[in-house]
Chains A and B, each alone.
Chain A
Amino acid sequence: MGSVQSYFNNLRGKEKKQEEERHVRANDRAFNLSYNYANNAIRTSKYNIFTFLPLNLFEQFRRLANAYFLFLLLLQLIPQISSLSWFTTAVPLVMVLAMTAVKDANDDINRHKSDRQVNNRMVSVLIDGELKNEKWMNVQVGDIIKLESNQFVTADLLLLSSSEPLNLVYVETAELDGETNLKVKQALTLTGEMEDSIETLSNFKGEVRCEPPNNRLDKFKGTLTVNGQNYGLDNDKILLRGCTLRNTEWCFGLVIFGGPDTKLMQNSGKTKFKRTNIDHLMNVLVLWIFGFLFTMCFILAIGNAIWEVKEGSVFTVFLPRDQGVNAALSSFLSFWSYVIVLNAVVPISLYVSVEIIRLGNSYFINWDRKMYYPKNDTPAQARTTTLNEELGQIKYIFSDKTGTLTQNIMTFNKCSINGKNYGDLYDFSGHRVEITEKTQKVDFSWNKLADPKFAFHDYSLLETVREGNPEAQAFFRLLALCHTVMPEEKKEGELNYQAQSPDEGALVTAARNFGFVFRSRTPETITIMEMGEKVTYELLAVLDFNNVRKRMSVIVRHPNGKMTLYCKGADTIIYERLDRSCKKLMKVTTDHLNEYAGDGLRTLVLAHKHLEENYMEEWTQRHHEASTALEGREERLDQLYEEIEKDLILLGATAVEDKLQDGVPQTIEQLANADIKLWVLTGDKQETAENIGYSCNMLREDMKEVFIVAAHTAEEVKQELQYARRMMCPESAEQPSVKKCRAGLFWLQKMETVQDEKVEGDYGLIINGHSLAYALEKDLELELLRTACMCQTVICCRVTPLQKAQVVELVKKYKQAITLAIGDGANDVSMIKAAHIGVGISGQEGMQAVLSSDFSFAQFRYLQRLLLVHGRWSYIRMCKFLQYFFYKNFTFTFMHFWYAFFCGFSAQTVYDEWFITLYNLVYTSLPILSLSLFDQDVNDRWSFQYPQLYCPGQLNMYFSKKAFVWCMLHSCYSSLVLFFIPWGAIQDTVRDDGRDIADYQSFASLAQTCLLVVVSAQLCLDTYYWTTVNHFFVWGSLAAYFAITFTMYSNGMFLIFTSIFPFIGTARNSLNQPNAWLTMFLTSLLCVLPVVALRFILMQIRPTINDRVRYKMQKDTLPAPPPRRPVRRVSTRRSGYAFSHSQGYGALVTSERFLFKRPIKSRLAFSVQPDGPLARNLPQVFRPIAEELHESQSSKS
């Protein structure tokens, strides 16, 4: 009952005029109820027990095919028209409706379950001055509720007070936007003072006026009125439903939006329904079929008119006309009669079968062990089950970098200290050994503060450090001192680093494990444990990183008074500032750097310098002056930095690996072989992206050129793009060749396609976000598209989520190609939704990408299996299914057309009505279903061996309008054979006992048997992969046909249902004749042989790649995959330095606002001032700040 009520409430709600302002009074249910605000119950289910049948039927009949069949059913009730018994249409229609209804009901039951689960969660609500446990659904707007740590936020709340200092609470918004870092919310001081005093809270009479419910997650506007005083409310004071409370003992909140009004529910609304290419094609074809059907009926109606005039009018002696029926009316009636008879061309079971096939193929994806990732127990998942065959047609892949191509783990991999290289392992013969997970790791157990997750394999480095090598110690001391990492030590010895960039985290962690443990910092000091000995350095200055300086330095004073400048930065920058004495060392280090670059590692060069006391004093003085100067502060500081950072002594270099996921380069190579273009769209900076491009083989040394577009005006961008294009293809036309055409259901849709242009050689293109913003403008987008499509590899860096989606849309719009987007984070959501197919990398912490994706799995490398195996199979299966399905239905129907010429266009059927009823449903459904679930042209291993097998799908080769027309011609031929061979054979024929069997019933049973044998034979010909299931269904269906036919034509059935089964004895009388079997044999051979001959000839003259591989598969065994060896590329390219992207934390670290000095009551290592830079700029865990979703709009400028 409840849901009925809420259903009507919803109806009423729609009539209610748009809410303009929300007005809530705390602790006053009566007042709030007067506004009829929704309570906190949610309902995502569509139906309940009573509404299910009518609503579901209504929805189903909105589908064209179903509505059409209902119309047919009504037509059949008119006796003058009814050419078939009602059950021929009703049985399939009911079956189809029932199947869909069962599926919908199942879905809805699941929704009900999850609704109920969510609605029945318990929360403490303040009612009548005491806290009571209430179900979520009973929470009303205006209630004050108490949340505890790790609880889900019940509704959209105004935060009143919390257990934490400064009335802060920490929430995780993973469910809302996928970001896993904690966010800080702060209550008003006024309300915060109430703390957890139940009495004060229940007497709280604040009134909130705020915006009506909406879906903006990052904005809130309202006022709180307490005792006549107004206080502004913004997003910082609002806890949204869907968040989780973390690190906060308790908090109180006032419910402002409940249930359907919450921002979470307002956001989870209509997801755009994706349809595949084949879906669109199918719609067009069904329309064609309708046209075709009516043309046929029209021709037959005219035939009927002619017959009625010429023959019918004189035949009235034996066949009188119904009253008032003349030739014209008869022709009109026969038109509709033929609409009924020929209805099989409009395939009612098509949509249902297609759904079943897609569902089956989705299950195969879910079940695939080779896409299961054991490390975090994540199987692949087809979240949308209606897009499978499109996986076999992908032309463009748009990939995120961080977390998708890379693991988002930085590891300190190698280093060069004082000209000696550490990190590689060699075997006895001096060859480099590949480091795998099984390689023995260096044992750091001597160091109690070591990070257990850190892995390093070269023992010699540790030995060197422990031996007390001064350079090595200085090296790690530098790493422990020169950074902006924040330590967090919740328990003694349990260190946790909060790093702005993962690279920095990796370096500091490396220093920690090698005995230089960064322990804590204050604005003035840094404390580290140097080989177990606690040393507190005085931090004199932080010369922070920025994009121009490309380096960072700290100046510290050792307790013994020695002052040192430690500097790390990009190699080119540091090399310019080295002391001349380092020449020799520089050379060796450069060799090492090149080596690291060849391995795709991110490098930094480290240097230090001792400072004289008096120079430092003077410098500090000038530094102070400069930093307080009102004019030209930046320049003066830069100058000072420049002055002190020179004559540095080189210590060595670090190499950090931005760890690629397993198998990424191989996967990319495979996809490239399959002629799929991969574009990387990343929020990372150019160097990083470029670096990854090289390390995963997208960019290669042997590429003719890698163009970099990084301009700042539209004109420059245009020039650079044109320059690149002319370099690649000098003869290319200035204007892109755009092919315009119309498509869609009624040719209403205009399409523009930019033609591909051929380019000699491989090129790469790197474009940054700024340039991309210009390039995506209306007048430049075609230029961008042309240039980008000429390149083998395209990398877009520093792009915002919005731009990601724009790039996808651009390709979708002008290339008419199927696109796939793959990503893992909230910033990829827009792109995942924009592409034809979205893939989410699951198993990471954020779920947003997965939730909006169509397919999800844990590792990028599974993409090749998803596309090259599952996608390809699904596509082939679907195409085979459609071809066969249309073939069998057309052949079936065309027979009626031919028979019309022999039965006075009277809409007499060729077959028994029962055969018509069961043909699609029983006799021919299962064999094709098993084919389209199990068929494989070649198995998965061969699919990987020959990725080119994927290409036909991209070109729509297996099913298109052309293929459909072929299919019709084929059916036309088959039906001619099927009709006229039995026709000829049965002319004046008698049995071997002299009785005539040229009667209608014998002819019908002969024709239908021939038809079934022929379509089964055609199916056998189309089946490439004969499993036992296929055998069972093919032979089983034929056997079932004979069994059912003999049963229905038996005496018993006739005696029980005389008028329903009139074909008494027909089967046994006609099918025991050699004539009948000879006819069947002849028709099936005549139908099958031309197909075989044609296929054979095509295979001989123009073999497709499939033919070749299948042929090869029969002859050879699969070659074993080549063993993997570590490859080292010779590279002259210097890799990107391992710094993050934006201004460092230097200012923050040294700032007065940094809160270490303040006594705090919480257990947190550091706290945050709510409006301070840290709260705003708190690093997302290993995610560049610029990628945040809500900044997408602003960063376009």
Chain B
Amino acid sequence: MLASSYKDEDGHISVSGSGAAAAAGGGSLRNKKPENTAFKQQRLPAWQPILTAGTVLPAFFIIGLIFIPIGIGLYVTSNNIKEIEIDYTGVDMSSPCFNCSQNFSWNSTKSCTCSIPFQLDQPYESNVFMYYGLSNFYQNHRRYVKSRDDSQLNGNEESLRSPSKECEPYARHDNKPIAPCGAIANSMFNGTTKPVNWRRPVYELDSDPNNNGFINEDFIVWMRTAALPTFRKLYRIIQRRNNLLPTLPRGNYTLEVVYNYPVRSFEGRKRMILSTISWMGGKNPFLGIAYITVGSICFLLGIVLLIIHHKYGNRNNGADVSH
């Protein structure tokens, strides 16, 4: 009658029998015995890693050893990039653009020009990238960021006729829809602007038909709002023409600026940057330094942990667990 007996967890011999169960169930064979699956019995096979000296200490040392060379590599790469930055805001009296910055007015039709001389100490090999940089310009302000109409930019006719409400107050002007609408487009950094502040309509941005209207590269670059109040945006690329000559040889240069974008009211800065690039992009020593620092800290921490382990570890891990 007794079908089986199994050894219980705590050492009891429990006898289970179909006869007993049937007797209890009044003859009916209902069996509420839970299924014996690994999942239901919480016996799923599992990997149970624990932090031991054998894994933690080598990990720290290895991370240290990997990070420091990467850091050095990044730092060197970043340092090899040549970059020059010219502030042409004209805050200083001595700056050639001081006058233009002082006399700026939105309505003046006459453009103010100033020229800034600068010198390249080293030749710039390969392609040279020209960026314009703005500081203290809150392109990432919430109201600024949302003040655009992607449908309109995507060429949706409906949106062209009636721009999205998000574009207010640059949605309509004199009861006519503005295209491109919104504060971003309105404040486009350029010598030439149209929507309210722009001096030219969008279809006259460039003479090249492939680079005109909404697909004008300068426009696209501007519409991609920056994450931080200080940013740079690509303006032009100086292609390397000749393999033998550097793109920009050493020497004296002059930057001619048609000054028509006001930033002084909000203590902004305008810069022009010339830079070469590497496999990891532009000049930014931050990652290199961070990697070197973190690597060294890891290494030091590894040593500290090793000492701690030697001092306490043997005592504890070797000891038996007391009951």
Which residues of A are in contact with B by a Cβ distance under 8 Å?
A: 79, 83, 311, 314-315, 317-320, 322, 337, 364, 366-370, 372, 374-379, 436-438, 662-663, 666-667, 670, 673, 861, 864-865, 873, 902-904, 906-908, 934, 936, 939-941, 944, 946, 948, 981, 983-1004, 1024-1030, 1054-1055, 1058-1059, 1062, 1073-1075, 1078-1079, 1082, 1085-1086, 1089, 1092-1093, 1095-1097, 1099-1101, 1103, 1105, 1108-1114, 1121, 1123-1124
Contact = CB atoms under 8 A, between A and B. Distances in A.
Given A375-B20, A985-B284, A1111-B317, A861 B12 contact: yes
B9 interface: yes
B244 interface: no
Contacts of A1085: 63, 294, 298
A75 B58 CA distance: 52
Interface string B43-70: 1111111111100100110010000001
Contact of A1000 (B21, B227, B267): B227
A366 B34 contact: yes
A1089 B298 CA distance: 8
Given A369-B36, A1074-B280, A1082-B294, A1101 B312 contact: yes
Contact of A990 (B20, B227, B277): B277
B228 A902 contact: yes
B195 interface: no
A391 to B, nearest CB: 15
A1079 B287 contact: yes
Interface string B254-283: 000000001001110000000101111111
A1059 B9 contact: no
A1034 to B, nearest CB: 12
Contact of A1114 (B50, B127, B232): B50
Contacts of A946: 321, 323
A949 to B, nearest CB: 10
Interface stretch (B113-121, B134-142, B172-180): B134-142
Contacts of A995: 234
B84 interface: no
B48 A996 contact: no
Contacts of A320: 169, 183
A214 B141 CA distance: 67
A948 B322 CA distance: 9
Interface of B: 8-17, 20-21, 24-25, 30-36, 40-53, 56, 59-60, 63, 70, 74, 127, 129, 131, 133, 136-145, 147, 149-151, 154, 156, 164-165, 168-169, 183, 186-187, 221, 224-234, 237, 262, 265-267, 275, 277-284, 286-287, 290-291, 294, 298, 301, 305, 308-309, 312-313, 316-317, 319-321, 323
Contacts of A908: 140-142, 145
Contacts of A438: 15
26 contacts: A315-B138, A320-B183, A337-B142, A369-B34, A369-B36, A372-B34, A375-B20, A377-B31, A906-B140, A906-B141, A908-B141, A940-B9, A941-B9, A948-B323, A989-B282, A990-B232, A996-B131, A996-B234, A1001-B225, A1025-B46, A1058-B150, A1074-B279, A1075-B281, A1085-B294, A1096-B305, A1112-B320
B321 A1109 contact: yes
B44 A374 contact: no
Given A377-B21, A1114-B50, A861 B10 contact: yes
Among B35, B141, B312, max chain A CB count under 10 A is at: B141
Contacts of A322: 143, 168
Contacts of B32: 372, 377-379
Contact of A372 (B33, B187, B231): B33
A1026 B49 contact: yes
A864 B10 CA distance: 10
A364 B40 contact: yes
Contacts of B35: 367
A-B complex: 9 closest residue pairs judged by Cβ atoms? A374-B16, A1003-B227, A318-B187, A906-B142, A367-B40, A990-B282, A984-B286, A908-B142, A1026-B47
A939 B48 CA distance: 10
B44 A934 contact: yes
A987 B138 contact: no
B259 to A, nearest CB: 16
A834 to B, nearest CB: 29
Given A946-B321, A1058-B151, A1103-B316, 17 more contacts: A337-B142, A374-B17, A667-B10, A873-B42, A903-B229, A936-B42, A985-B287, A988-B230, A992-B281, A998-B227, A999-B227, A1000-B140, A1004-B227, A1054-B150, A1075-B284, A1112-B320, A1121-B11
A372 B312 CA distance: 45
A1105 B319 CA distance: 12
B34 A1124 contact: no
A1078 B74 contact: yes
Contacts of A994: 127, 129, 234, 237, 277, 282
B231 A907 contact: no
Given A934-B42, A1096-B56, A1121-B11, A992 B280 contact: yes
A1124 B12 CA distance: 9
A944 B286 contact: no
Contacts of A379: 32-34
Nearest to B151: A1058
Contacts of A1112: 320-321
A986 B227 contact: yes
A850 to B, nearest CB: 14
Contacts of B169: 320
B46 to A, nearest CB: 5
A996 B231 contact: yes
A1016 to B, nearest CB: 16
Nearest to B36: A369
A594 B168 CA distance: 99
A992 B277 contact: yes
Nearest to B138: A904
Given A314-B265, A372-B34, A1085-B294, A902 B142 contact: no
Contacts of A996: 131, 221, 231-234
B223 to A, nearest CB: 10
A783 to B, nearest CB: 34
Contacts of A663: 8, 10, 12
A995 B129 CA distance: 9
Nearest to A1079: B287
B216 to A, nearest CB: 16
Contacts of A864: 10
Contacts of B294: 1082, 1085-1086
Given A995-B234, A1000-B227, A1099-B51, A311 B284 contact: no
A1002 B50 contact: no
A988 B138 contact: no
A1114 B321 CA distance: 13
Nearest to A436: B13
Contacts of B226: 998-1000
Contacts of B139: 1000
Given A372-B34, A1101-B312, A1082 B287 contact: yes
Contacts of B317: 1103, 1108, 1111
B284 A989 contact: yes
Contact of B51 (A1030, A1095, A1108): A1095
A904 B227 CA distance: 12
B14 A374 contact: yes
